[in-house]
A and B are shown apart, each in its own frame.
Chain A
Amino acid sequence: MIRFHRVCKRYPGGYEALSEVTTHIRRGELAFITGRSGAGKSSFLKLVALVERASSGQVVVNGYDLGRVSRYNVPYHRRRVGFVYQEHRLLHDRTVFDNVALPLVVSGYDHREIGRRVRAALDKVNLLRYERAYPVTLSGGQQQRVGIARAVVNRPMLLLADEPTGNLDPELSREIMSLFREFNHVGVTALIATHDLALIRRLPHRILRLEGGRLVADVQGGER
């Protein structure tokens, strides 16, 4: 599903966020990326979602070489990738419903289909009764679940999450993680960046460890 081949990402000014990363994440897999802040976790996800382009090397997602995706086709790639952010990135002047509907609106769905899918997504994250609420009136965990609903409403085959539990207490974090695992169970490939090792160590999923932009470990979790 995701294949990195000797991928480097340098930012203007010479800072190298990723260097020579080569890995492969299979279809239907759930994998965690860990590492300290600045280890390159976010850059890894941004390359997969084509928020940024690799400086060198090859990123292949779902069989397509992202280096060859034209500027015009970038939005169409992003529509097939769900992205959950640590800071939620919700629109605060829109209701929960409108926030979740946004990916469908930009894809040009008609409003009946939008209503159906948005309610299904909100139901899945257990927020159906808040559809008319504004994000500011929700707790951090609820806002994060709105972000997740928005990421999955388009039924992407790939779900990316950048520190989705960064601001949440352990209880809520476990809740969010189990949501991702549920989506993974129905066939969605998931890639989650987190520094919360305590949370993921016991889960039976693959863990990629980045350090200074290099991939230093690739282990299967939950064995101990």
Chain B
Amino acid sequence: MRWRTPRGGAVRRHTAPPLSERLGQLLQRLPARTSSAAARPVRTTLPTLSQPLSRQFQSYLLRHLQTLIGTLGDLYRRPIATLLTCAVIGIALALPAGLYQLLSRVGELTKSVDEAGQISLFLHAHVTTEQAAALAQRLQRQPAVGHIEHITAASALAEFRQLSGFGAVIDTLSENPLPELLVVRPLLRQQSAEQIERLLGELRQLPEVDQAQLDIDWLQRLYAMMALTQRGILILGLLLALAILLVVGNTIRLLIQNRADEIVITRLIGGTDAFIRRPFLYSGLWYGFGGGVVALLLVESGLLALAAPVSELAALYHSQFQIGHISLSTLLLLPSGGAVLGLCGAWLAVAQHLRGSDPQ
């Protein structure tokens, strides 16, 4: 399509370029970024156009790899600055990660005391041993009930006689004053404290039951405290993640300032935003990754330092509890999470810089 300027010169406007050219443009744009598919008024006649797609993709990957290694080399040449930045990121990551690690270990510890949440059903005095056994069988079929122990009045009396030393006094009684007792262990592992409370309420409604007891308060308090701590760690983690974004962003901003001339020149000779952004993004990635590794070391050494006193304390409670090592998920999550945060921080800094330097 052609149209004429007022001066009479022909000006090409590519509202519909030939297919081969459009294909060429498409190939050309692939490495950089895919954006709106409008027809491009500027042809990009570069030799890469004639290269097959696989070759282009190869060189694209190669360029990324070069930048990845190159930025690592740049950081290596400034070891002190790099270590300091990584250490700041590492501490910011280690705090929530370490606390989370401790909390999850404590959570595992409470799983072993779950069985202490047992409900004692004291039946009415008129309920016979046979009726109690039938009730126990009925309750056993309830899904929330884990295990039921039936302590008959007779066996309870025998035990009491043996343990209390009041044998002679007991012998004077005409009848057994003790009721039948069912000890119900709920399946706590799959259930929350409220569900146990509900089970307790149901059991209390049974006609045979005189009294149902559950000392669940301490368990409820523990769960509430753990939920609170978990939320606290989440908030702390979010705040520190924000701090990491700012730390990386600031570091990258300094890098950008150091290389402002280079950026200006690269833009003037036709470097795309993606090309300019790339080394800074990879620098941010490396900072975050390095910070993640530092955090791993910090958390693991913290756990090692706590291991001996914790097992001593546990031994006083006749427990085999050990604080253990860093979990696999944390091991994988810390460096990768750090890298993602670093990348995002770098992106923010570079995007802000590039936006301010467009042609007017």
A contact residues vs B (CB 8 Å cutoff): 3, 5, 12, 22, 24, 49-53, 58, 60, 63-65, 68-80, 83, 89-91, 102-103, 106-110, 113, 150, 154
Report yes or no: B6 in contact with A50, Cβ–Cβ below 8 A.
no
Say yes or no: A79-B5 contact (C-beta < 8 A), given A89-B265, A108-B48.
no
Closest residue on chain B to residue A11 by CB atoms: B360
Task: Report chain A residues within 8 Å CB of B13.
Answer: 65, 68
Report yes or no: A75 in contact with B359, Cβ–Cβ below 8 A.
no
Report yes or no: B269 in contact with A76, Cβ–Cβ below 8 A.
no
B359 is contacted by which of A12, A50, A113 (Cβ under 8 Å)? A50
Report yes or no: B11 in contact with A106, Cβ–Cβ below 8 A.
no
B7 part of interface (Cβ distance < 8 Å): yes
Report yes or no: B7 in contact with A60, Cβ–Cβ below 8 A.
no
Q: How far is the CA of A83 from the CA of B268 in the complex (A)?
A: 8
Report yes or no: A106 in contact with B9, Cβ–Cβ below 8 A.
no
Q: Which B12-55 residues have a C-beta within 8 angstroms of A?
A: 12-13, 28, 31, 33, 35, 38, 40-48
Task: Report chain B residues within 8 Å CB of A76.
Answer: 28, 42, 44, 270
Closest 4 CB pairs of A and B: A79-B270, A78-B270, A106-B271, A63-B12
Closest residue on chain A to residue B269 by CB atoms: A103
Report the count of interface residues on B (CB-CB < 8 A): 40
Q: How far is the CA of A109 from the CA of B56 in the complex (A)?
A: 10
- A interface footprint on B231-261 (CB within 8 Å = 1, 0 otherwise): 0000000000000000000000000000001
Task: Report chain A residues within 8 Å CB of B59.
Answer: 108, 110
B275 part of interface (Cβ distance < 8 Å): yes
Task: Report chain B residues within 8 Å CB of A24.
Answer: 7, 9
Report yes or no: A78 in contact with B268, Cβ–Cβ below 8 A.
yes
Q: In the complex, what's the smallest C-beta–C-beta distance from A152 to chain B, in angstroms?
A: 12
B262 is contacted by which of A52, A64, A91 (Cβ under 8 Å)? A91
Report yes or no: B5 in contact with A3, Cβ–Cβ below 8 A.
yes
Q: In the complex, what's the smallest C-beta–C-beta distance from B285 to chain A, in angstroms?
A: 21
Task: Report chain B residues within 8 Å CB of A102.
Answer: 265-266, 269
Task: Report chain A residues within 8 Å CB of B272.
Answer: 75, 106
Closest residue on chain A to residue B262 by CB atoms: A91
Q: In the complex, what's the smallest C-beta–C-beta distance from A15 to chain B, in angstroms?
A: 13
B161 part of interface (Cβ distance < 8 Å): no
Q: How far is the CA of A60 from the CA of B28 in the complex (A)?
A: 23
Task: Report chain A residues within 8 Å CB of B358.
Answer: 71
B contact residues vs A (CB 8 Å cutoff): 5-7, 9, 11-13, 28, 31, 33, 35, 38, 40-48, 59-60, 63, 261-262, 264-273, 275, 358-360
20 A-B contact pairs sorted by A residue (CB < 8 Å): A49-B268, A53-B360, A64-B42, A69-B42, A70-B38, A70-B40, A72-B33, A73-B41, A75-B272, A75-B273, A76-B42, A83-B269, A91-B261, A102-B265, A106-B270, A106-B275, A107-B46, A107-B270, A108-B60, A113-B47
Report yes or no: A68 in contact with B359, Cβ–Cβ below 8 A.
no
Task: Report chain B residues within 8 Å CB of A71.
Answer: 358-359
Q: In the complex, what's the smallest C-beta–C-beta distance from B264 to chain A, in angstroms?
A: 8
A53-B360, A73-B42, A150-B269 known, 14 other contacts, Cβ within 8 Å: A52-B359, A60-B9, A63-B12, A65-B41, A70-B38, A70-B40, A73-B41, A75-B267, A78-B270, A83-B269, A102-B266, A103-B270, A108-B59, A108-B63
Q: How far is the CA of A83 from the CA of B266 in the complex (A)?
A: 12
Closest residue on chain A to residue B60 by CB atoms: A108
Report yes or no: A106 in contact with B269, Cβ–Cβ below 8 A.
yes
Task: Report chain A residues within 8 Å CB of B12.
Answer: 63-64
Q: In the complex, what's the smallest C-beta–C-beta distance from A84 to chain B, in angstroms?
A: 11
Q: Is the interface of A mostly helix, strand, loop or mixed?
A: mixed
Say yes or no: A65-B11 contact (C-beta < 8 A), given A52-B360, A91-B261, A110-B59.
yes
Report yes or no: A74 in contact with B359, Cβ–Cβ below 8 A.
yes
Q: How far is the CA of A74 from the CA of B271 in the complex (A)?
A: 9
Q: In the complex, what's the smallest C-beta–C-beta distance from A106 to chain B, in angstroms?
A: 4
Task: Report chain B residues within 8 Å CB of A80.
Answer: 45, 270
B7 is contacted by which of A5, A68, A107 (Cβ under 8 Å)? A5
Q: In the complex, what's the smallest C-beta–C-beta distance from A101 to chain B, in angstroms?
A: 11
Q: How far is the CA of A70 from the CA of B48 in the complex (A)?
A: 22
Q: How far is the CA of A203 from the CA of B32 in the complex (A)?
A: 43
Report yes or no: A3 in contact with B359, Cβ–Cβ below 8 A.
no
Q: In the complex, what's the smallest C-beta–C-beta distance from B138 to chain A, in angstroms?
A: 75
Say yes or no: A106-B5 contact (C-beta < 8 A), given A53-B360, A64-B12.
no
Closest residue on chain B to residue A63 by CB atoms: B12
Q: In the complex, what's the smallest C-beta–C-beta distance from B340 to chain A, in angstroms?
A: 26
Report yes or no: A108 in contact with B270, Cβ–Cβ below 8 A.
no
Q: How far is the CA of A149 from the CA of B262 in the complex (A)?
A: 17
Q: How far is the CA of A108 from the CA of B31 in the complex (A)?
A: 9
Central interface residue in B9, B31, B272, B358, by most chain A CB within 10 Å: B272
Closest residue on chain B to residue A82 by CB atoms: B269
Closest residue on chain A to residue B48 by CB atoms: A108
Q: In the complex, what's the smallest C-beta–C-beta distance from A105 to chain B, in angstroms?
A: 8
Report yes or no: B269 in contact with A68, Cβ–Cβ below 8 A.
no
Q: How far is the CA of A69 from the CA of B273 in the complex (A)?
A: 16
B41 is contacted by which of A64, A89, A103 (Cβ under 8 Å)? A64
Q: How far is the CA of A23 from the CA of B31 in the complex (A)?
A: 37
Task: Report chain B residues within 8 Å CB of A110.
Answer: 59
Task: Report chain A residues within 8 Å CB of B268.
Answer: 49, 51, 78, 83, 89
Task: Report chain B residues within 8 Å CB of A58.
Answer: 5
